[in-house]
Amino acid sequence: MDKGNQTTVIEFIFVGFSDVVQLQYFLFVIFLCIFKVSLLAHMFIIILYRCSPNLHTPMYFFLANFSILEICYLSTIVPKMLIDLLLQQKTISYYGCAIQMYCFLVLGSTECYMLATMAYDRYNAICHPLLYNNIMSRVVCIRLVIGSWLIGTTVAILQTTFVFLLPFCGSNRINHFYCDIPPLMNLACSNTRFNEIATFIIASFLIVGSFLLTIISYANIIWTIVKNHPASNRKKAFSTCTSHLIVVTMFYGSGTIMYLRPKSRYGMDDGKFLSLMYTIIAPMLNPFIYSLRNNDVKCAVRKIVYEIKLAH
């Protein structure tokens, strides 16, 4: 659609990653494998939580909820992206794009504060072990999860409304693989200054705010470990904290670069690859970093396997 025609956009076309067919097939295989591994790992955590009474603690309650969130998050973007990698015409309707953006923003925004909530839970477990059960009661855990979803829903409603109130009357080619805020703002045929300011303020509250809460929690955890734990126990604790912080930094760091830089400095191609970090890579790593390395999870798996053997 040529800008001179001033035709109202009724659908969008994703540019995707490459016009080279062989490369698209290669990317399809890679992303499909990542998607399957991520789904299986998260489903495994949910099933394990449901089947293992010894995992019915605040920590695993949050991890099970986080896995449900991640499955929905992956399913919002990856299936459509995989289909588009096999097609020449990668289209999405105007309203389909709005729905995809809304779902992505709800789930992505909720994930930011779920990560902060999980860090807060670990802070109380390590820094206030005697008060932990009182501080992280069942009611408090449920409220923290609901609060994260309320924040995510509010952010999604505001941002999706702001973006789709813009007129799209020129090009309909989105230089991305899903409907995201910066590439869509680049297609608007009106001034987007208000949207840029709104995105910066909301993203600052969402990403920077939750990241600071997460970092403060881990800083207190590390300080408590250094101060109170013997040297023999520090290595494992530091290893766990470091792996958590690497994934957290990857998620928040790529999101910060994507949403907090000015529109004039937004690079289309690097934006796509930054998005991969928090839409595909981080969700795949999370179950292995947060859950599957834990001794409690390994014990629960061994117990279930033992019970299955006895049953047969």
Instruction: Name the packing angle between helices 138-164 and 58-86 (round to 10°).
Output: 30
- CB atoms < 10 A from the CB of 209, how many? 15
- In this prediction, residue 222 carries a pLDDT of 87
Per domain, the residue ranges of the chain are 3-311
Examine the pLDDT at 1 and tell me if it is beyond 80: no
- How far is 91 from 24, CA to CA, in rounded Å? 16
- In this prediction, residue 268 carries a pLDDT of 56
- In this prediction, residue 248 carries a pLDDT of 87
Query: Residue 176 contacts by C-beta under 8 Å, 6 or more apart in sequence?
Result: 14, 15, 183, 268, 271, 272, 275
Tokens of 207: 């990403």
- CB atoms < 10 A from the CB of 25, how many? 12
- Confidence (pTM): 0.89
- How far is 192 from 263, CA to CA, in rounded Å? 9
Residue for token pair 């805020």: 181
What would the pLDDT profile of 141-158 be if each residue is shown by its tens digit?
999 999 999 999 999 999
Tokens of 198: 């709104």
What would the pLDDT profile of 32-83 be if each residue is shown by its tens digit?
999 999 999 999 999 999 988 888 899 999 999 999 999 999 999 999 999 9
Examine the pLDDT at 2 and tell me if it is beyond 50: no
- How far is 59 from 45, CA to CA, in rounded Å? 12
Q: Select 3-311's CATH number: 1.20.1070.10, 3.20.20.70, 3.10.20.740, 1.10.10.10.
A: 1.20.1070.10
Predicted confidence band at 269 (pLDDT cuts at 50, 70, 90)?
Answer: low
Phi, psi for residue 250 in degrees, rounded to 5: -60, -45
- In this prediction, residue 20 carries a pLDDT of 66
For the chain, helix (H) and strand (E) counts, in that order, are: 12, 3
- In this prediction, residue 115 carries a pLDDT of 93
DSSP 91-124: EEEHHHHHHHHHHHHHHHHHHHHHHHHHHHHHHH
- In this prediction, residue 140 carries a pLDDT of 96
- How far is 84 from 276, CA to CA, in rounded Å? 15
- How far is 199 from 285, CA to CA, in rounded Å? 27
Examine the pLDDT at 7 and tell me if it is beyond 60: no
Tokens of 178: 């899903």
Residue for token pair 């008060």: 131
Distance set, CA 290 to CA 58, 247, 283 (Å) = 14, 10, 11
Examine the pLDDT at 114 and tell me if it is beyond 60: yes
**Which value, in Å, is the radius of gyration of the alpha carbons in the chain?**
21
Per-residue burial over 146-161, b = 16 or more CB atoms within 10 Å of its CB, e = otherwise? eebbebbeebbeebbe
Segment 3-27 mean pLDDT: 75
Predicted confidence band at 294 (pLDDT cuts at 50, 70, 90)?
Answer: confident
